[in-house]
A and B are shown apart, each in its own frame.
Chain A
Amino acid sequence: MFSFCSDPSTLEGLRWLSCYLTTVKHANLYIAVGTVLLLLAITAPAALAFGFGGAMAARSRIWPLSWVGKGYIAIVRGVPDIAFFLFFVIALDQIFEVIRHKVKCPDWPDEIWQGSDFVVCQAAKLPLGNSPQWVHDAYGFFLAVLTFAIVFGAFAANVLYGAMRAVPRAQIETAEAYGMSRRQSFWRILVPQMWVYALPGLSNLWMVLTKATPLLFLLGVEDIVYWARELGGTALPRFTDYPHGDWRMWYFLALLVFYLGLTKVSEVALERLMVRLSHGQATTGGEAQRRAGA
């Protein structure tokens, strides 16, 4: 990276560190940080969409649909989340492959689960055996995002379901008095008003989501935890220009600080968002703003 890095064995102190932290291997760690942020950026809206769907289903008047929605909310909350992460990654993968298997190889003679083996035909493999490495990576990441969205969607569904019920009943009654249909009053009255009630829960969920991102490691994505372990382990002079002892502790300390920073930034940003959303609302927060202004 820097011009003085050409011969690392002569370097000392800060210069050594600046060269050490800009090696190609460390670039992987920085890319992994980007992966985490990308995951957050994709998962948050996806989980919100799942949550909205779940909450709508739970409110539905068609009872099978409402059972599905309520079951979705209830089950995910009763069980440890990493069990879900570990479960969904394999389960989704197998479900996709079984579906492709049924479509692509309809006359396959053998069973799919043979004792302790899971066998589908070559054409149904995901990703295909001959596809390049980046497809494998992207597929793994996609599964991780889907898993996160399903699990956090259930939490979001819970929050949104509560928020929908928190909107004053009189508002809906007024809408009915104006002759709106159930669908119209839902989209025009309930949905625009529910966000104020949902925001505290959703911001809590965001904090939880940021803290769940290291679990990517368990899903087999090469994320920051993976690289911290990889880079922090003892490096012998034989294999690297930058030998050092077991520094994993320091790498994880850095990760700890990274997450604390992320938490602090989110706290400040969400606080601002809440102030803005409460503006002019008939809630205690909005009232306090009005008084302070007057």
Chain B
Amino acid sequence: MSCWQTVQDYALRSLGYGERLLPREGYTLCEHFTLIGSGMIWNVYFGAIALFAGFFLATVVALGKGARNPLIRKPSEWFIFIFRGSPLFIQFFFAYFLFLSLKSVSPFFDAFTSAWLGALIVLFLNTAAYSGEIFYGALRSIPKGDVEAADAYGFSGWRRFRKIVWPTMLRLAWPAYTNEAIFLFHSTTLVFFSGFPAWQQRGDALYYANYFADKTFNPFVPYPILAGYFILLTLVVIALFGLVNRRLNRHLPQEARRGLRLRLNVIR
């Protein structure tokens, strides 16, 4: 079977299109690349949507944590503490069994027990908590002068937030937020190892890499391929976030612009 044929059969396998059975024997390099790459669709899906939705909740949570009113502050603090203080792996398990129990109460929760929605919700809340903490830190380090200048120009309320506070917060938080984005993509690999079933063997990249490693007893091929895909994904994320970073910093003098300096050492 030619490689092109394999690509046609398995490129969308993770979504349920193409050949139904996973490869049983032979396990060519082409099959490795195609199936693991097919699984990456799920990693990108989980990461991108959770990141996008989490961004807005993170802003709200950061503002909540910075609020004076304890009725707003306390829930935000607890939200951040619970999601940052416990392992994502356990959160996945808990959420899965929680949805499973709710499913027996009402059929409305049927969809929540499948990964595409249930795991997405957990990732969304998790990234909102992590980025909320980052944004909160940035919010506290906004230069006093910026806010005073805004006051002097007569900005107040929503307009001050939208035009002055929020952009500055994003600018300060952006390098750390890029980190968070990368690690969110990495942690999407946990989904199918934590209770959420891979229905009809539609899994993510690690699921297929693990499948090959189990079948061939040779971890030295599938995992490096997976690593290669993730390094590519990381580079893409860095490039996209770098563009946003350039835009956020475009008003600063050339030397004062900070490039993205990444410190990649977080696991959840």
Chains A and B bind each other: yes
* CB <8 Å contact, B186 and A81: yes
Q: Does A248 contact B (CB under 8 A)?
A: yes
Of B82, B100, B190, which is within 8 A of A249 by CB? B100
Of B193, B219, B266, which is within 8 A of A87 by CB? B219
Residue of A nearest to B206 (CB): A83
Residues of chain B within 8 A (CB-CB) of A249 are 94, 97-98, 100-101
**Shortest distance from the beta carbon of B133 to any chain A beta carbon, whole Å:** 12
> A116 and B219 in contact (CB under 8 A), knowing A83-B230, A246-B97, A260-B82?
no
Q: How far is the CA of A214 from the CA of B230 in the complex (A)?
A: 23
Complex interface bits, A264-288 against B, C-beta within 8 A gives 1, otherwise 0: 1000000000000000000000000
Q: Does B187 contact A (CB under 8 A)?
A: yes
* CB <8 Å contact, A211 and B86: yes
Q: Does B27 contact A (CB under 8 A)?
A: yes
Complex interface bits, B163-192 against A, C-beta within 8 A gives 1, otherwise 0: 000000000000000000000001101100
Q: How far is the CA of A195 from the CA of B187 in the complex (A)?
A: 30
Residue of B nearest to A217 (CB): B89
Stretch of B63-71, B140-148, B207-215, B247-255 with 4 or more beta carbons under 8 angstroms from chain A? B207-215
> A83 and B226 in contact (CB under 8 A), knowing A246-B97, A252-B94?
yes
Residues of chain A within 8 A (CB-CB) of B81 are 260, 263
Q: How far is the CA of A249 from the CA of B94 in the complex (A)?
A: 6
> A211 and B268 in contact (CB under 8 A), knowing A113-B218, A253-B94?
yes
**Shortest distance from the beta carbon of A83 to any chain B beta carbon, whole Å:** 5
Q: Could you tell me which residues of chain B, from 44 to 60, have a CB within 8 Å of some CB in chain A?
A: none
> A94 and B85 in contact (CB under 8 A), knowing A201-B265, A252-B90?
no
Q: How big is the A interface, by class?
A: 35 or more
Q: Does A204 contact B (CB under 8 A)?
A: yes
Main secondary structure of the interface of A (DSSP, over half): helix
> A248 and B97 in contact (CB under 8 A), knowing A81-B186, A82-B189?
yes
Q: Could you tell me which residues of chain B, from 145 to 167, have a CB within 8 Å of some CB in chain A?
A: none
* CB <8 Å contact, B234 and A78: yes
Q: Could you tell me which residues of chain B, from 73 to 102, have a CB within 8 Å of some CB in chain A?
A: 81-82, 85-91, 93-94, 97-98, 100-101
* CB <8 Å contact, A255 and B227: no
Residues of chain A within 8 A (CB-CB) of B189 are 80, 82-83
Residues of chain A within 8 A (CB-CB) of B227 are 75, 78-79, 83
Q: How far is the CA of A77 from the CA of B267 in the complex (A)?
A: 10
Q: How far is the CA of A246 from the CA of B102 in the complex (A)?
A: 12
* CB <8 Å contact, A205 and B101: no
Residue of A nearest to B24 (CB): A116
Q: How far is the CA of A217 from the CA of B194 in the complex (A)?
A: 10
Main secondary structure of the interface of B (DSSP, over half): helix
* CB <8 Å contact, B100 and A86: no
Q: How far is the CA of A229 from the CA of B189 in the complex (A)?
A: 20
Q: Does A72 contact B (CB under 8 A)?
A: no
Residue of B nearest to A82 (CB): B189
Q: Does B231 contact A (CB under 8 A)?
A: yes
Q: Does B136 contact A (CB under 8 A)?
A: no
Residue of A nearest to B220 (CB): A91
Q: How far is the CA of A263 from the CA of B268 in the complex (A)?
A: 12
* CB <8 Å contact, B86 and A259: yes
* CB <8 Å contact, B89 and A215: yes
Q: Could you tell me which residues of chain B, from 196 to 233, have a CB within 8 Å of some CB in chain A?
A: 206, 209-210, 213, 215-220, 223, 226-227, 230-231
Residues of chain B within 8 A (CB-CB) of A81 are 186, 267
Q: Which residue numbers of A lie inside 8 Å of B, CB to CB? A: 75, 77-83, 86-87, 90-91, 94, 113, 116-118, 155, 158-159, 201, 204-205, 208, 211-215, 217-218, 225, 228-229, 232, 246, 248-249, 252-253, 255-256, 259-260, 263-264
11 contacts between A and B (CB under 8 A): A80-B206, A83-B230, A86-B210, A113-B217, A116-B218, A214-B90, A246-B100, A248-B97, A249-B101, A252-B97, A263-B86
The 6 lowest CB-CB distance pairs between A and B, nearest first, are A263-B85, A249-B97, A80-B186, A252-B94, A87-B223, A118-B217
Given A79-B231, A214-B87, 11 further pairs, Cβ under 8 A: A78-B234, A79-B230, A80-B226, A82-B190, A86-B206, A86-B213, A86-B219, A87-B223, A113-B217, A116-B215, A256-B91
